[in-house]
Amino acid sequence: MSHVGISIISVPEVEAKQRKALNGLAKIRDEEKLASVTKTKGAPLKKDKEKKKKKSRKKAWDEHLKELAAAEDELNHVSLGDASVASPFTSRVTSIKCTKDVLQRGRCTLVTMLQIYKILGVNCLVNALVLSSLHLVGAKQGDTQLTAVGFVVAGLFFFVTKGQPLNKLSKTRPPASVLSVQAIVSIAVQFAIHFVFIMAVTSMSRGYLDSKYDPSLVPDGAFNPNTLNTATFLITMEATVTTFVVNYRGRPFMEDLHENKLMMRGLQFCFGNLFICALEIFPPINDLLQLAPLPSSTDEMVYEGTTILTGIHLQLLRKFIDAIGFKATLSLFMAADVIVAYFAEKMIIRLFQ
């Protein structure tokens, strides 16, 4: 939306040297291609002649490279005028070709910032929901858990910025503001999906707590891991990582997710560890993150006070846990949250396009 100015420095003498060097390099490339096509076989005299030509081309190539480097060095020492001081971009080549570069990188930067704001918006709502639900029963999250979340989020934000612009300029324009209708609808829908799955996990976990005698439910007491804060930590962490997958825009403005290798590897690492923790495949990771052992069935539920499970939906959750187990149910909810949020965002993008 901004008015971007580009100043162009014109130094005819230096540009003539540049063109001469570039033309010389192009000519040598053509000669090498021609020589590789018509490669001589047979007489030693012809082979010697071809070797001499090769050495001559290499010498000319080095000379042209030196001329090009000298011309670029001269351009770098040209004093800037008033236009260069006033405009945010300066091109040292007398061509408007640089406009395309500014547009491509500008759009990539705009899309990156928009997705960062969307990720922050959804994550803030999710964290507020989880911390509020834990506070209502006196539970809390551990320092190690919060530290792990901080490191993961910081790393993924860094990987988001590694996305490169595409070489082709798209006809489609990116959203102009984070307060656009598309962005607000996307944030609201994502939070609604996370809300459903987080509340489902919270509801099925609270039945395993005894609100009267459980030391982990003392509001001002030390942190003690229990089923509730363990399950909500895993589903919250999954929702946080999912926001990066869902909101990474990719084409037609920047590299797709699978092309951003650092981002892809980081997401795979996070999801892999989350499901390993949920299924308790490698207990030392659970111990490191201060996670409590997860129950296996509804037989371990406590039926006292406000922890009694009531309502049709909670009865369905109980049956589900009895059928496949608590760990599998938690993992299924985590996977479903990723899939539903991802396809919902794709539908929103199509709708507004």
pLDDT tens digit string along 137-193? 778 888 888 899 999 999 999 998 888 888 888 888 887 777 888 889 999 999 999
Question: Does one domain contain both 253 and 335?
Answer: yes
Q: Which of 91, 115, 136 is the last residue of a domain?
A: 91
Residue ending a domain, among 75, 91, 107, is: 91
Q: Which helix (H) or strand (E) holds 173?
A: none
Helix axes 312-324, 181-206, angle to 10 degrees: 70
Query: Between these two residues, 196 and 142, which has the higher pLDDT value?
Result: 196
Look at residue 159 and tell me if it is in a domain.
yes
The share of the chain scoring above pLDDT 90, in percent, equals 25
- Asked if residue 105 and residue 68 are part of one domain, the reply reads no
Note the pLDDT tens digit of each residue in 199-220: 888 888 887 776 556 665 666 6
User: Of the candidates 5, 25, 4, 15, which has an alpha carbon nearest to the alpha carbon of residue 93?
Assistant: 15
- 175 and 26 fall within a common domain: no
269 in the same domain as 163: yes
Dist. CA 21–CA 23, nearest whole Å: 5
Based on the fold, state whether residues 87 and 102 are members of the same structural domain: no
Question: Which pTM value belongs to this model?
Answer: 0.74
